[in-house]
Chain A
Amino acid sequence: DAKTTQPNSMESNEEEPVHLPCNHSTISGTDYIHWYRQLPSQGPEYVIHGLTSNVNNRMASLAIAEDRKSSTLILHRATLRDAAVYYCILIDGGGADGLTFGKGTHLIIQP
Chain B
Amino acid sequence: GAVVSQHPSRVICKSGTSVKIECRSLDFQATTMFWYRQFPKQSLMLMATSNEGSKATYEQGVEKDKFLINHASLTLSTLTVTSAHPEDSSFYICSARDWGSQGRNSPLHFGNGTRLTVT
Please state if A104 and B43 are interface contacts (CB–CB under 8 Å): yes
Q: How far is the CB of A44 from chain B (nearest CB, A)?
A: 5
Q: Please, which residue of chain A has its CB at the minimum distance from the CB of B97?
A: A96
Report if B44 contacts A (CB, 8 A). yes
Please state if A43 and B34 are interface contacts (CB–CB under 8 Å): no
Given contact pairs A34-B107, A98-B95, a sample of 5 additional A-B residue pairs in the complex whose CB atoms are under 8 Å apart: A41-B115, A42-B112, A43-B110, A98-B34, A98-B46
Q: Which residues of B contact A98 (CB under 8 A)?
A: 34, 36, 46, 49, 95, 108
A91-102 vs B: 1/0 string, CB under 8 Å?
Answer: 001111111111
Point out residues on B near A: beta carbons under 8 Å. Answer: 4, 6, 32, 34, 36, 43-46, 49, 91, 93-95, 97, 103-113, 115
Point out residues on A near B: beta carbons under 8 Å. Answer: 32, 34, 36, 38, 41-46, 49, 87, 93-104
Q: How far is the CB of B29 from chain A (nearest CB, A)?
A: 15
Please state if A43 and B107 are interface contacts (CB–CB under 8 Å): no
Please state if A101 and B43 are interface contacts (CB–CB under 8 Å): yes
Residue of A93, A96, A98 with most partner-chain B CB within 10 A? A98
The one of B45, B49, B95 in contact with A43, judged by C-beta atoms closer than 8 angstroms, is B95
Please state if A93 and B104 are interface contacts (CB–CB under 8 Å): yes
- Please report the C-alpha to C-alpha distance between residue A20 and residue B84 in the assembled complex, in whole angstroms: 39
Q: How far is the CB of A45 from chain B (nearest CB, A)?
A: 7
The one of B6, B45, B105 in contact with A94, judged by C-beta atoms closer than 8 angstroms, is B105
Q: Please, which residue of chain A has its CB at the minimum distance from the CB of B102?
A: A94
Please state if A32 and B105 are interface contacts (CB–CB under 8 Å): yes
Please state if A101 and B44 are interface contacts (CB–CB under 8 Å): yes
Residue of B32, B44, B103 with most partner-chain A CB within 10 A? B44
A-B contact pairs, 12 of them (CB 8 A): A34-B107, A36-B107, A43-B110, A43-B111, A44-B44, A44-B93, A46-B107, A87-B43, A94-B103, A98-B36, A100-B46, A104-B43
